[in-house]
A and B are shown apart, each in its own frame.
Chain A
Amino acid sequence: MSITIHDLRKSEGSYLPGSASCPGCGATIAFRIASRILGPNTVYVIPACCFSIIQSPYPRSAISAPILNFAFAAAAAAASGVQRAYKFLGKDVNVVVWAGDGGTVDIGIQALSGAAERGENIIYICYDNEAYMNTGIQRSGATPIKAITKTTPMGKQEMPKDMPMIVAAHRVPYVATASVGYPFDLANKLEKAKRIKGFRYIQIFSPCPPGWDFPVEKTAEIGKLAVDTYFWPLYEIEEGKLRVTIKPRKKPLKEFIRMQRRFEFLKDEEIEEMEKLVMEKWNFLLHLERSERVF
């Protein structure tokens, strides 16, 4: 059964109004939905990221769930320890890492890879705002090519890491991409992840108004456009089998690109080139979808 808005409204989330997030924050939309699915029997491990600040300063917290704030590089390792302790003590608790893209694809990749390889029974959620936003918009390994950040003032020259595929190559039971622009798809994936045992990974596309430089009210719209232009395809890999979960009618990439000033240097020809990359990836995913197993 798919999750409906009524299911979500009935469930209790762990986000309290009046946090330190920026207006229009995509990551908080993601958290509001995720915490509803994950439920009250959940503890979060949060490495340095926007959520370190969004929580608000001591002695108050805008998150009504237990949180272990942890060092940048080691969220997945700390979560492994938490989960194993619960296992040792005979407690059944959801242990969830809630991390940004820097703490996931860059500095935290080693601990993440180790936990995935060991098959730790945790859910790792990366809310991906495609750069180091908490430190003021510097490029990360998840920043898309051509995007302006404060450390790539002329636009990034390199392609981002394909983190969901990197995690999937560890042959973990569940990997998915999601977007705040498709909240029900996100909710369903979390629901599925929650029911699976072992290492589960979800990367949520989370638009960032100040970081990507778009009007604050367009967070959800951009999150949806990313999917509809195939810039951020939504898929899941369950036990090695890939399925593209949302197959929208393709919109021109230009619509997504031109809404954000981080791509303001892009000429139309360059958008055309990016369009080719996007289609290549999309077709590759469809190809993988036809295979028995991806990994």
Chain B
Amino acid sequence: MNMAEGEWDIITGNHAAALAAKLARVGVVAAYPITPQTTVVEYLASFVESGYMNAEYIRVESEHSAMAAVIGAAAAGARTFTATSSQGLLYMAEVLHWAAGSRTPVGMAVINRSVGPPWNIHVDHQDTMSQRDTGWLQLYVSSNQEVLDTIIMMYKVAEHPEVMLPFMVCLDAFVLSHTFMPVNVPKQEEVDDFLPPYRPRHWMLDPSDPISFGNLVFPDDEYQEMRWSIDLSMRRALEVIEEVAEEFSEKFGRYHGGAIMKYRISDADYVILTSATLASEAEVAVDMMRDEGLSIGLLKLRSFRPFPHHSIRENLQGKKGVIVIDRSISFSSGGPIGTEVRSSLYDVSGAPAVVNYITGLGGRDITYNDVIAMSKDAISRISTGRLRKPYYWHKLKQDYQRIELAEEVVS
């Protein structure tokens, strides 16, 4: 099971996630299997049993317990890791809040999978988007190299003394989790040099320090301030993400972006804004549309929490239009990213029009051709002022798309 460290390898996203946990010298892993996360926990089990990775591995009986166990372990001073998907993440929901409220910098890979019913094991972002208010840092990635590098980077961000929040690195089911891609696996010494051992600085469960963590707080005590403090750390994390990405880039020669990654946007009139592997399709789409003479670029959103309001404003002010593609839906409201981007831009003078598309749910395949179609639809809407709805569905089956269209015409 040993990996050739310091070399190129062809591995899946799940393998990259497990390797990142090993390279980060995680001390306690607790995990429960769920498709398509399963191979992460299998890799970790074989790493630990073969002695390649020195860690305690708790084979818990549920995701709720997995999260509980890593919080407990982090509170006792260990660096921790778990991984899940979809229903598993939702089952954790209660304890996700507990992790952030405890300021335990737990690490987690979430393999984005649609939520049932009906059962569907393929990608969309409904699972993680529905957990956006738990106090977790949430990063979306678009390659297996980015999976590995981001998990290592995020431990440094999460454990920063002014951040101290848990993080999830989100990777698309199958598109990354089970797809083999070339990955440069860093050497352990290089990672050690980049990421120092975890030292809890604010509190710790220690027999010599008889404190009670988390007992009852009344409204007139600091409950609201504790929530404010999480918000403050989350905002501070935006800066730390950039600092750590720069440092990583200097050390390893790879830069995936900080909270955002820009592609051909400086001179663009229109900007596609999306995340995860859809951003890779969008990159291809941008090149193709540029070849056609369209002035378009891409802003890939890596960090959804913290949300980079400032970067969004800075980079989109003065543009003619933004095409936001969401792979999840807040029913009747729109795409979570679309909603946030609008909120970022609302009070900016000369704010671009925002056209928000919901698509790719339940793993419906969305290629660069779809991105081109959405972009052109958006550009035509913007130039003709047909912006009647807060969001549009893309790639519904024809009969259903017709109903959407009818509603638009009537409204």
Residues of A that sit less than 8 Å from B by CB: 14, 40-43, 45, 52-53, 55-59, 61, 63-71, 73-89, 93, 110-111, 113-114, 117-118
* Residues in B whose Cβ lies below 8 Å from that of A82: 72-73, 75-76, 205
Set of chain A residues within 8 Å of B98, measured between Cβ atoms: 70-71
Do residues B73 and A66 form an inter-chain contact, with CB atoms below 8 A?
A: no
Interface flags for B167-199 (1: CB within 8 Å of A; 0: not) read 000000000000000000000000000000000
Q: Sorted from nearest, which 8 A-B pairs have the closest CB atoms?
A: A81-B72, A114-B61, A81-B69, A77-B65, A74-B68, A85-B76, A69-B214, A85-B78
Point out the residues of chain A lying under 8 angstroms from B213, CB to CB: 66-69
13 residue pairs bridging A and B, Cβ less than 8 Å apart: A61-B211, A69-B213, A73-B94, A74-B65, A74-B67, A74-B95, A78-B68, A81-B75, A84-B78, A85-B56, A85-B73, A88-B56, A111-B62
Q: Is the CB of A69 within 8 A of B212?
A: yes
In contact, A58 and B221 (Cβ under 8 angstroms): yes
- Select the residue from B55, B210, B218 with max chain A CB neighbours within 10 A: B210
Check B207 against A67 for contact (C-beta < 8 Å). Answer: no
Is there an interface contact between B212 and A84, defined as CB atoms closer than 8 Å? Answer: no
Q: Is the CB of A74 within 8 A of B64?
A: yes
B71 touches A14 (CB 8 A): no
In the bound complex, what is the Cα–Cα distance between A52 and B213 (angstroms)? Answer: 11
A57 contacts B71, C-beta separation under 8 Å: no
Q: Considering residues B61, B65, B72, B218, which has the most beta carbons from chain A within 10 angstroms of its beta carbon?
A: B72
User: Given A61-B210, A114-B62, 14 more contacts at CB 8 Å?
Assistant: A14-B210, A52-B216, A53-B216, A57-B221, A64-B210, A68-B213, A70-B68, A76-B65, A80-B69, A81-B68, A81-B72, A81-B74, A110-B64, A117-B61
- B 59-101 contacts with A by CB, 8 A: 59-62, 64-78, 80, 94-95, 98
B268 interface residue per 8 A CB criterion: no
- Contact between chains at B215 and A78 (CB < 8 Å): no
Instruction: Compute how far the CA of A88 lies from the CA of B53 in the bound complex, rounded to whole angstroms.
Output: 12
Q: In chain B, residues 184-241, which have Cβ atoms closer than 8 Å to a Cβ of chain A?
A: 205-207, 209-218, 221-222
Q: How far is the CA of A96 from the CA of B1 in the complex (A)?
A: 36
The answer on a CB contact under 8 Å between B72 and A79 is yes
Whether, in the assembled complex, B28 has its beta carbon less than 8 Å from a beta carbon of chain A, the answer is yes
Minimum CB–CB distance from A56 to chain B (whole Å) comes to: 7
Question: Is the C-beta of B58 less than 8 angstroms from some C-beta in chain A?
Answer: yes
Distance from A136 Cβ to chain B, minimum over Cβ atoms (Å): 16
Q: Say which residue of B28, B69, B95, B215 sits within 8 Å of A69 (CB atoms).
A: B215
Given contacts A81-B28, A88-B55, A114-B61, contact A57 B215 (CB under 8 A): yes
Determine the chain B residues whose CB is within 8 A of the CB of A77 once the complex forms.
30, 60, 64-66, 68-69, 72
The complex places the Cα of A66 from the Cα of B214 at a distance, in Å, of: 11
Residue of B76, B207, B214, B216 ringed by the most chain A CB atoms within 10 A: B76
Chain B interface residue number, banded = 35 or more
Query: Which B positions have Cβ atoms within 8 angstroms of A?
Result: 27-28, 30, 55-56, 58-62, 64-78, 80, 94-95, 98, 205-207, 209-218, 221-222
B95–A71 CB distance below 8 A: yes
Total residue contacts A-B, CB cutoff 8 A: 163
| Minimum C-beta distance from A65 to chain B (A) | 5
Tell me the bound Cα distance from A69 to B205 in angstroms: 11
For the complex, what is the distance from the CA of A78 to the CA of B58, rounded to whole Å?
11
Is B65 touching A110 in the complex (CB atoms < 8 A)?
Answer: yes
- Please report the C-alpha to C-alpha distance between residue A14 and residue B207 in the assembled complex, in whole angstroms: 12
Query: With A and B bound together, what is the CA distance between A157 and B214 in angstroms?
Result: 36
- CB contacts (< 8 Å) of B206 on chain A: these are 43, 66
Assess A81 versus B76: contact at CB under 8 Å? Given A58-B215, A58-B218.
Answer: yes
- Interfacial chain A residues near B28, Cβ < 8 Å: 81, 84-85, 88
- Closest residue to B206 on the A side, CB-wise? A66
**Docked complex Cα distance between A43 and B71 (Å):** 15
Say whether A89 contacts B72, CB under 8 Å. Answer: no
In the complex, what residue of chain B is closest to A57 when comparing beta carbons?
Answer: B216
Whether the Cβ atoms of A84 and B214 lie closer than 8 Å is no
Name A94's closest neighbour in chain B (CB-CB): B207
Q: How far is the CB of A291 from chain B (nearest CB, A)?
A: 29
Distance between A278 CB and nearest chain B CB, rounded to angstroms: 34
A61: B residues at CB distance < 8 A: 210-212, 215
CA distance A87 to B55 in the complex (A): 10
Closest to A87 in B: B56
| Contact in complex: B207, A93 (CB < 8 Å) | yes
The answer for the CA separation of A76 and B67 in the assembled complex, in Å, is 12
Are B205 and A68 neighbours in the complex by a CB distance under 8 Å?
A: yes
B71/A78 in contact, CB under 8 A: yes
Known: A55-B212, A65-B210, A67-B212. A89 touches B77 (CB 8 A): yes
The interface residues of chain B lying within 8 Å CB-to-CB of A76 are 65
Question: Are A78 and B209 interface neighbours, CB within 8 A?
Answer: no
The winner among A70, A74, A81 for most chain B CB atoms within 10 A is A81
Question: In the complex, which residues of chain A have a beta carbon less than 8 angstroms from the beta carbon of B214?
Answer: 68-70
A93 to B72: give the CA distance in the assembly, Å: 14
Chain A residues whose C-beta falls within 8 Å of the C-beta of B217 in the assembled complex? 57-58
A56 touches B95 (CB 8 A): no
Complex CA–CA separation, A63 to B56 (angstroms): 30
A68 touches B72 (CB 8 A): yes
Q: In the complex, A82 Cα to B78 Cα: how many Å?
A: 9
Q: How far is the CB of A178 from chain B (nearest CB, A)?
A: 24
Taking CB atoms, residues of chain A closer than 8 Å to B68 are 70-71, 74-75, 77-78, 81, 111
User: What's the nearest-Cβ distance from chain A to residue B223, in Å?
Assistant: 8
A45-B27 in contact (CB<8A): no
